[in-house]
Structure 1
Amino acid sequence: MTIAIYPSADTDWAQWHTRYAARLRSPHSGPDPIAQHWIGESPEQLPGLPGTWWVVDGRVFIAAKPGDRLDHDGTRIAGIEILDPVDDAPGIILRHDEHAVEIIRRNGQTSIRVHAPAD
């Protein structure tokens, strides 16, 4: 009997789990979002969020002005931002004021989750 061990898979999972656990301890670590919006191909404004949001071929388009205070990777969105979330992977995090805005893909559908700051 031969037992195959895949150390890279174990290491990859352990690294992912460490990053995920750290993310849950972030200031936006509430277990449930305070809002969730499923978005489609037609541009739409989402309640409580700035900008206009839509999806084309799995890519998320966000049209926002600097005054909307919507940031991605520490940079204010000014114009159209195109993001490419991966199905069933951890979400892409944006910031709006004190809220975390998470973009996720599940089963080919795109959702926007809004997380309140932790108390």
Structure 2
Amino acid sequence: MTVQDSPADVDAFAADWEAWHRRKDAALAHEHGFLAVTGQYWPEATPERFPGAPGAWSTGDGRVTVELDDDEELVVDGTAVRGRHTFGVIPERGGVDAVWGDAVIEVAKRGGRHLVRPRHPGHPLRTAFTGTPAYAPDRRWVVSGTYTPFAEPRPTTVGAAVEGLQHVYDAPGRIRFALDSQELDLTAFPGGTPGSLLVLFTDATSGVTTYPASRALHLDAPGPDGAVVLDFNRATNLPCAYTDFATCPLPPAENRLPVAIEAGEKIPYERQPVTG
């Protein structure tokens, strides 16, 4: 069922959405946010230097090692390190930020592989950022749904923005909802807080007005009866919509919706064709 328009609170609804969208863009444009990433590198057994980062980087025995020159220093977990430093075991989708002057060197693990991403506050993608275009908020796109958990979480493999890379999520269940009297289903992944859910999807606007690869929708934990609210006004781009230096997951095949969801964030200005 779709929540009906409520003229009495339409202004408050729009103001709440505007505040949320400003916070989302502010996090993206943080001095060490994704818009500050200047490269994405995959260290191997032989030490190698990467642009925008100190030292020579390598992997072995499931860990990442950096060999710093005499005049180089990183700060890891508040401690200055010099010479040879081996990072601890990094879990899948985890990471460590090593400080280097005003920059941060992210050391992470994605799709079973280690990566190094320098993040520099002065990167032009960040300094020139003017915000993300989006559809105007509309209560029509606030939809009630029902979450049904699987008997056991289902390992679900999806592609990634990086060719050849795959992500595996333990999907806890599915969500059923209706738009314009059409019944639809989405596989849900675990969200960022206990009990919350994450949905990755595409729809008929993808590649037209919204980013073609994927959009994300975060949901609060379902109620005791499985009730959830899908506010598609808050469908967001993933970092790969802005930068090539991201490993974002793609939606599972069943989350490619046949309807046009004209809500949420649109193709970033940075990805729109140049006209003139």
TM exceeding 0.5:
yes
Q: Give the Å deviation of 1:32.
A: 5.7
Identity, % of aligned positions: 26
2:86 corresponds to which of 53, 69, 82: 82
**Pairing of 1:44-59 with structure 2 (within 5 A):** 44-59=48-63
CA distance in 2, matches of 1:116, 1:50: 13
Aligned residue identity for 1:88:
R
Of 87, 97, 111, 2:115 maps to: 111
The equivalent position to 2:100 in structure 1, one of 87, 93, 96, is 96
1:10-55 alpha-carbon deviations (Å, 9 max, x no partner): xxxxxxxxxxx9xx47531244611111111111111232111100
Size of the aligned set, in residue pairs, is 96
2: CA distance between counterparts of 1:73 and 1:61?
15
CA distance 1:48–1:29, change in 2 (3 Å): closer
Q: Find out whether 1:73 has 2:73 as its counterpart.
A: no
* Aligned residue in 2 for 1:62: 66
Shift of 1:107: 1.5
Q: Are 1:33 and 2:48 an aligned pair?
A: no
Paired with 2:110 and 2:49, the residues of 1 have a C-alpha distance of: 21
CA distance in 2, matches of 1:29, 1:49: 16
Alpha-carbon displacement from aligned partner over 1:55-101 (angstroms, at most 9, x marks no partner): 00220011114521322122222122111211122x10001111111
Check conservation: 2:38, 2:52, Cα contact below 8 A: no
Counterpart CA distance in 2 for 1:94 and 1:107 is 21
Q: Partners in 2 of 1:35 and 1:51 — Cα distance? A: 15
**Secondary structure at the counterpart of residue 42 of structure 1:** coil
Q: Check conservation: 2:38, 2:118, Cα contact below 8 A.
A: yes
In the alignment, structure 2 segments of 5+ residues that lack a partner are 1-23, 128-276
Distance 1:32 1:99, change over 3 A: closer
Aligned mates of 1:74, 1:32 — CA distance in 2: 21
Q: Which amino acid aligns with 2:108?
A: I
TM-score for the superposition, normalised by structure 2: 0.32
- Is the Cα contact below 8 Å between 2:98 and 2:105 reproduced in 1? yes
Quick one: structure 1 residues 73 and 65, their matched pair in 2 at CA, closer, same or farther if it must change by over 3 Å? farther
Unaligned runs of 5+ residues in structure 1 are: 1-20
- What amino acid is the match of 1:39? P
State the distance in 1 between where 2:53 and 2:37 align. 14
Q: Distance in 1 between matches of 2:37 and 2:109?
A: 15
